[in-house]
Structure 1
Amino acid sequence: MPPAVAHPVRLLPLVFLALILVGTLLLLLPFARAGETNPTFMDALFTATSAVTVTGLTTVDTGSYWSPIGHVIILILVEIGGIGIIALATVLGLFIGGRLGLRTQMLAQVDMHVVSLGEVRPLFRRVTVTLLGFQAVTAIFLTVRYRIAYFDSLPEALWNGVFDAVMAFNNAGFSLNSDSLGRYAGDEAVLLPVSVAVFIGAVGFPVLAELYRGWRRPSRWTIHTRLTVWGSLLLFAIGALAFLAIEWANPATLQDMPLVDKIVTAIEGGVMPRSGGLQSFDWNLVEAETQAIAVVMMFIGGGSASTAGGIKVTTFLLLAFVILAELRGDPEVQIGRRSVSGRTVRTAISIALLAVMLVYGGTMLLMLWSDASHIDALFEVTSAFGTTGLSTGLTPELDTASQLVLIGLMFIGRVGTIAAASAFVLRRRQPRYHLPEEQPIIG
């Protein structure tokens, strides 16, 4: 294998591209489409990309456009995309052969953001148990509720429960219903398990592994876990309270709901924009302020090495500490009793700036090519980059060029801005010299 391709950072985008290609070919098969007409290439490509990147944006109605076999294909693509194709192959290798090669461990490091090679093997074992365990528990809750209140057939309730559980934990917004979770609006027995699964899936596997070992000792948590856990809880609280306050008197969302239903829907409104994508109400009918807050939440996303997209909550909070250090005049960035390296700070700044460029570049393209309003284009583009899947209904109406923009953003949002960029411009060797320094005027 050529060195330029063999590097783990370069190989990561390639395997995701390969999986998207395989998914597209499978969805192009006649039996994947419901009805007598064959699926179109763009519908298959968009759906496969959205599934592999665990986004959930769609150009067609998932339930009616794709056949049951197509639904199974989408579910498998979401499952593989959620855990990461490299992580999945490594886990299978663990149980089949029991050995991990050095190159495989390096690939796993890139995909899962594991700090040391020694953590790869035990982490992947916990990933498998966690992934299947949470999805199974969520599926049981949903199946029971669906059978009692919504479906007369147990197999139908079970399939819908499993499908929604997989989508929730993997933070993918696909649904077998044309209105997503609309038919379950206000039902806490459905919305709460789904919201909990979305929140846990967006935390990230390394954090879940550390919490499993020592959740009772927050003082011993790593900086990454502290930022992810407390940051996720803070963003959820802000999002839910803001949604409740802004939408309280909106007749299209909360106004006519009982108090309990309002609170349950507000919880959903605080969780889903972080990368969930499932929705029991129409985001096109919420207040403009709510959409603006959702855009910010989608841009931030969830935890690193999770099923969520965005710049990640750790990046966002690290940048806040960078600003705080500059305001104080501190020589280095400190979080708790630890300092953060300059390389980590540069990476966080690079990710944020690249994300801003991608989101607003994509927004401008959609506005030029589709005549969409600024807020609608920004909402859809941020949803694609954050691999969220929420939509105001714009995506199915876009032309091919605009849909290709969203496909590119979903791919970059899943693989990561740094990994995607460095895959093509990665320096093969470190420079052996240091240029003279000069201080330009800043500000």
Structure 2
Amino acid sequence: MEDFTGRSPSRFAILIFTALILVFTLLFSLPIASADGRMTPLADAFFTAVSVICVTGLATVDMATHWSLVGHTFVYIGVQIGAVGVLTLASILGLVISRRLGLRAKLMAASDSNPMRGHRGPVAEGQAVRLGEIGNLLVTVALSLIVIEGAIAILLFPRMVIDGIPTWDAIWNSLYYSAMAFTNTGFTPNAGGIGQFANDYWFLSILMLGVFLGALGFPVIYALKRHLWHVRYWSLHVKLTIVTTVILLFAGALAISLLEFDNPKTFGTLNFSDTVFQSLFFSMMTRSGGFSTVEIGDMNGSSLLVADMLMFIGGGSASTGGGIKVTTLAVIFLAAAAEAKGSPDMEAFGRRVPPDVLRVALSVVLWGATIVALSTIVLLQMTKAPLDHVLFDVISAFGTVGLSTGLTAELDNPAKYVLAMTMFLGRVGTVTLAAAVAATTSSKLYRRPEERPIVG
């Protein structure tokens, strides 16, 4: 087992992820986990377990009313495990128990934070986190969960008390919302979702902050903790992640506001400032947050398509967000820009990006597009629902976002398993593929004759 763990940590992670899903399926099936004291049907328990461990946020039952306090506790614990990452969590536990971190544990944790660690041959230590810093990164991951979620809960608690929520409920709801925001899950403990807070911009702003920090990724948080005000010390990964995230946030908000400003069911009755804020909130939530102040099914088809693109991209690498990751998109754009300029190198912020990174990026995008296409075709055949609604929920599942047009709650059991598999592949598939592609690069004693096919 140790040899397998060392040789293929990503595959080991899949095994652990699968085991966790099975364990939580059993837990959610227990009568004590449901509010009515009955066993939850297997399909719903399995779907919930996948959604929780993959920090997605989609649900086939009413998450606020179906589960008991025990069930909600299972949800709370499950999203923390899923957000941190299996290998990272195992390394943290090992560090706590043994007070030291061996090379094998460092390699496991490193592969969880950067699939390119599987690359055979020399690996530049200018990557997001150096191998020698993995121990500090693990401490940052643990502290991030505690400090950031705690801070968000403290900021939310007074607002809930002011809104008349009883003290105990306000404490629990604050902790629950803070966890769902930072882990980018999007479950709510209230039957009406966040509808009662739709006009509470303090509450919504705090949720946005939590989602933003969670979607940046732990390597970025680690770098900012060390060099927050010294941009020159930021790695290329940190700069690409932050710049691309901010660009997508405002570009998405601009598109949504232009497409929804005259829709009476969404933003049509709002003034200019409210429309801008709500558009920013929705754009942030499509990065993997999963909260929504409007009914997704009421949005225009053009807006759903914009949201599809944002959800497919997702958050940052080694973050609590899903999707193909913002750095993947950035690398592809750098390649296109280099080709347009006739430059042989991809360059950004005074650094050159090696070609093998583009190879991994293209593989991840193709893998993601294939999952989305196959899942959409299967669910279209099963449900006979409109294409835009099916595509939206499928991409939401793949990107572990949690937003839904309402289709997910109406799925029959076979369709639930299909969407659950989409969530699983979206959460662990891209990372595993990236590691596998990176690991396949090896030296050869020969090269075949070159011939150029016609492209474009």
Give your verdict on TM over 0.5. Answer: yes
Q: 1:280: which partner in 2?
A: 293
The verdict on how the C-alpha distance between 1:46 and 1:421 changes in structure 2, with shifts beyond 3 A counting, is farther
Q: What amino acid does structure 1 have at the position aligned with 2:143?
A: V
Q: 1:127: which partner in 2?
A: 141
Question: Is 1:384 matched with 2:397?
Answer: yes
**Please, which of 353, 358, 367 is the counterpart of residue 340 of structure 1?**
353
Q: 1:9: which partner in 2?
A: 10
Matched-pair contact (CA < 8 Å) for 1:9–1:422: yes
State the shift of 1:219 in Å: 3.2
State the shift of 1:258 in Å: 4.6
Give TM-score scaled by structure 1 length. Answer: 0.95
Q: 1:189: which partner in 2?
A: 202
Q: What amino acid does structure 2 have at the position aligned with 1:70?
A: G
Matched-pair contact (CA < 8 Å) for 1:86–1:108: yes
Question: Is 1:88 matched with 2:86?
Answer: no
Q: What amino acid does structure 1 have at the position aligned with 2:53?
A: V
**Please, which of 306, 309, 315 is the counterpart of residue 293 of structure 1?**
306
Question: Is 1:141 matched with 2:155?
Answer: yes
Q: 1:166: which partner in 2?
A: 179
Q: 1:56: which partner in 2?
A: 57
**Please, which of 400, 403, 410 is the counterpart of residue 413 of structure 2?**
400
Q: 1:101: which partner in 2?
A: 102
In structure 1, how many angstroms separate the alpha carbons of the residues matched to 2:164 and 2:406? 26
Report the secondary structure of 1:141's partner residue: helix
Question: Is 1:305 matched with 2:306?
Answer: no
Q: 2:452: which partner in 1?
A: 440
Matched-pair contact (CA < 8 Å) for 1:16–1:85: yes
Q: What amino acid does structure 1 have at the position aligned with 2:322?
A: G
Q: Residues 78-100 of structure 1, C-alpha deviation per residue, up to 9 Å, x if partnerless?
A: 01111112212322332332111
The verdict on how the C-alpha distance between 1:116 and 1:437 changes in structure 2, with shifts beyond 3 A counting, is farther
- Within-5 A mapping of 1:116-265: 116-151=130-165, 153-265=166-278
Report the secondary structure of 2:298's partner residue: coil
**Please, which of 412, 418, 427 is the counterpart of residue 414 of structure 1?**
427
Report the secondary structure of 1:109's partner residue: helix
The verdict on how the C-alpha distance between 1:312 and 1:80 changes in structure 2, with shifts beyond 3 A counting, is same
In structure 2, how many angstroms separate the alpha carbons of the residues matched to 1:426 and 1:198? 29
- Within-5 A mapping of 1:294-373: 294-373=307-386
State the shift of 1:226 in Å: 0.8
After the TM superposition, list the runs of 4 or more consecutive aligned residues in structure 1 that deviate by more than 4 angstroms. 2-6, 420-423, 425-432
Matched-pair contact (CA < 8 Å) for 2:91–2:108: no
Report the secondary structure of 1:202's partner residue: helix
Report the secondary structure of 1:339's partner residue: strand
Q: Residues 30-72 of structure 1, C-alpha deviation per residue, up to 9 Å, x if partnerless?
A: 1001114310111111001101111000011001111110000
Matched-pair contact (CA < 8 Å) for 2:363–2:434: no
The verdict on how the C-alpha distance between 1:258 and 1:331 changes in structure 2, with shifts beyond 3 A counting, is closer
Report the secondary structure of 2:289's partner residue: coil
Q: Residues 241-274 of structure 1, C-alpha deviation per residue, up to 9 Å, x if partnerless?
A: 2222222222111222355433332221120001
The number of residue pairs the alignment matches comes to 441
Report the secondary structure of 1:176's partner residue: coil
Q: What amino acid does structure 1 have at the position aligned with 2:373?
A: Y
Q: What amino acid does structure 1 have at the position aligned with 2:135?
A: R
Q: 2:118: which partner in 1?
A: none
Q: What amino acid does structure 1 have at the position aligned with 2:264?
A: P
State the shift of 1:301 in Å: 0.4
Q: What amino acid does structure 2 have at the position aligned with 1:57?
A: L
Q: 1:32: which partner in 2?
A: 33
In structure 2, how many angstroms separate the alpha carbons of the residues matched to 1:144 and 1:72? 22
Q: 2:123: which partner in 1?
A: none
Unaligned residue ranges in structure 2 (runs of 5+): 115-127
Q: What amino acid does structure 1 have at the position aligned with 2:19?
A: A
In structure 1, how many angstroms separate the alpha carbons of the residues matched to 2:130 and 2:232? 22
In structure 2, how many angstroms separate the alpha carbons of the residues matched to 1:341 and 1:420? 18
State the shift of 1:104 in Å: 1.4
Report the secondary structure of 1:71's partner residue: helix
In structure 1, how many angstroms separate the alpha carbons of the residues matched to 2:142 and 2:2? 31
Matched-pair contact (CA < 8 Å) for 1:303–1:314: yes
State the shift of 1:323 in Å: 1.0
Q: 1:374: which partner in 2?
A: 387
In structure 1, how many angstroms separate the alpha carbons of the residues matched to 2:273 and 2:430? 40
Stretch deviating more after TM superposition (96-105 or 274-283): 96-105
In structure 1, how many angstroms separate the alpha carbons of the residues matched to 2:371 and 2:79? 24
RMSD of aligned alpha carbons: 2.0
State the shift of 1:128 in Å: 1.4
State the shift of 1:318 in Å: 0.6
Report the secondary structure of 1:284's partner residue: helix
Report the secondary structure of 1:57's partner residue: coil
Matched-pair contact (CA < 8 Å) for 2:312–2:324: yes
